[in-house]
Structure 1
């Protein structure tokens, strides 16, 4: 069996467009040509890809499975096309950054603005994914730089560890607890609390502190991101304890910040795999991140 790129292109067009006529329009060819190519493809693979109902083509389960792989291949081709376009536009350098979702909407936008302002021939890709996916992507070389919390050790990858400060209490504006400058664990007794999901490392740390002080909070909502928790707190649904970066960026959302008497250090690791294509650019981007994190720590000190 020998498939041509044309067979795959026609199959992908039919699956994406929903029919032979629409695919023909996409490919700038005729509907009979598309139908002929599909029949040849079915002959080559040895199983039916579509059932025909009137003029409609309905994909079989086999077609859906095959298209999942074809779609991944086309994503790769699209990336090649984007790279070629960037080279043509004198923007050949491409830095792939992976970060936690919270950083994608807080830390990175101003960093990217500053960095791109000094690097015209450059493009950035930001991938907001979970901690484990970042570590895996760094280890396999899929990302040029990774920004993680809790600073895990990653073998064979350079890292810079930044102490951003401590986890902070966030409260709805005007909440009774805002009368205190520093909150004790006992202050949270019976309070409506917005929790991170159970698998979050800082959630477990916070839970341990309240258990040690025999404090019972009232679970109202669980959320997976600091951004969601800030929004929930701003709606008056409860209080919470989150990272200082998200806490600072939530100040314009009807939220007030307070220190917790028990220290929960918040540490970030900036990681760079060795032997990447643009090591100097990745290192410089990391330096911009470090400068921004140091500025965030200074601003928090001023606010509190």
Structure 2
């Protein structure tokens, strides 16, 4: 039994006559009769009997028809899916992202991307940079978005945004009145920040050492996302990437930290792996999201926004 014979059998069952089946399939009546005869010969039993000049399905034909119809409906669905994939209507993009980016710029980015490609499935993996680099190398993700570049021979890196470390503190803290904060100004305060062995920890240690200070971290965190509830609870001042306050949070403000400690946002693809057709569109949406953020103030709080509107 082959697909063509099964197709003829299904058409006769559905249309009732060989003539109608031939018309629906776009082939001749003799071709339909011949294919049906071959099928019955292979099966070893008849599928139709002629009663009063008409074809009547046998019991065996009724038994086979349900599964035959199901098979062809699946084939038709597969053909439709293949056409949609070819027209870029349906697909998949797999994104590896650092946690702060997943909580800040990516929701805006993915909303814009979804408007352009509503049928495309998105797999978002929030991972440390080391694991994102590994996933890119293995081809488990199509694109990586991290707070620093992934450096490897086959990786193509694009710097998207010049983020920096900021001080995040309660709006009621006296230091919130300062335009910028320095290591000397933070002396004696409880700090919430990355460990010295973390990617930006060493740079922060050097910034403190440049003013003769020692960075004494009271609460060590792995991601800036985890710092915000701690600051809100009054447990200290956080020195974290500015993406932590991408959206305003009532009662919390951020202030520039000097000396500057950069945390550049990078987009990375592995040129040694086949690329999803949707990486370019996703990248465009990500660039637009950062362009919009550059025109506003990342981390502006309700208090800051109100003050700014009064000045204007």
TM score, norm. by length of structure 2: 0.64
Is the contact made by 2:242 and 2:298 (CA closer than 8 Å) also made in structure 1? Answer: no
Pairwise CA distance, 1:171: 0.9
Residue equivalent to 2:223: 225
Name stretches of at least 5 consecutive residues in structure 1 with no aligned partner. 1-83
Question: What secondary structure sits across from 2:141 in the alignment?
Answer: coil
Q: Measure, in 2, the Cα distance between the counterparts of 1:165 and 1:277.
A: 30
Structure 2 SS opposite 1:116:
helix
Report deviation, 1:141: 1.2
> Does 2:260 match 1:263?
yes
Per the alignment, residue 298 of structure 1 pairs with: 295
Q: 2:281 aligns with which of 279, 284, 289?
A: 284
Which residue pairs with 1:196 in the alignment? 194
Match of 1:107 in 2: 105
Q: Distance in 2 between matches of 1:189 and 1:115?
A: 44
Which residue does 2:206 correspond to in 1?
208
Given the alignment of the two structures, is residue 95 of structure 1 paired with residue 87 of structure 2, yes or no? Answer: no
Q: Secondary structure at the match of 2:134?
A: helix
Aligned residue for 2:220, secondary structure, equals: strand
Q: CA deviation at 1:247?
A: 2.6
Alignment of 1:31-50 (within 5 A): none
Displaced runs of 4+ in structure 1, greater than 6 A?
A: none
Let me know the Cα RMSD of the aligned residues.
2.5
What does 1:159-178 align with in structure 2 at a 5 Å threshold? 159-178=157-176
Over 3 Å counting, the alpha-carbon distance change for 1:145 and 1:199 in structure 2 is: same
**Bigger Cα Rg:** 2
Task: Quote the offset at 1:213 in angstroms.
Answer: 1.3
TM-score, normalised to structure 1, is 0.66
CA contact (8 A) 1:93 1:278 kept: no
The question of whether the paired residues in 1 share the 8 Å contact of 2:205 and 2:214 is answered with: no
The match for 1:13 is: none
Count of aligned pairs between the two proteins: 219
Q: Distance in 2 between the 1:263 and 1:269 partners?
A: 18
- Give the Cα–Cα distance (whole angstroms) in 1 for the partners of residues 105 and 81 of structure 2: 28
Task: Mark the CA change 1:128 to 1:100 in structure 2 (over 3 Å): closer, same or farther.
Answer: same
Would you say the 8 A contact 2:168–2:255 is kept in 1?
A: yes
Cα deviation 1:130-182 (Å, max 9, x = unaligned): 11010111111111010112213222122211232422111112101111111
Structure 1 residues 98 and 89 mapped into 2: Cα distance closer, same or farther (>3 Å)? Answer: farther
Q: Could you report, residue by residue, the CA deviation over 1:223-259 in whole angstroms, capped at 9, with x for unpaired residues?
A: 111111122111111002211211333x314211111
Give the 5 Å matches for 1:16-55.
none
* Alpha-carbon displacement from aligned partner over 1:90-114 (angstroms, at most 9, x marks no partner): 5641100001111112221111111
Name 2:156's counterpart in structure 1.
158
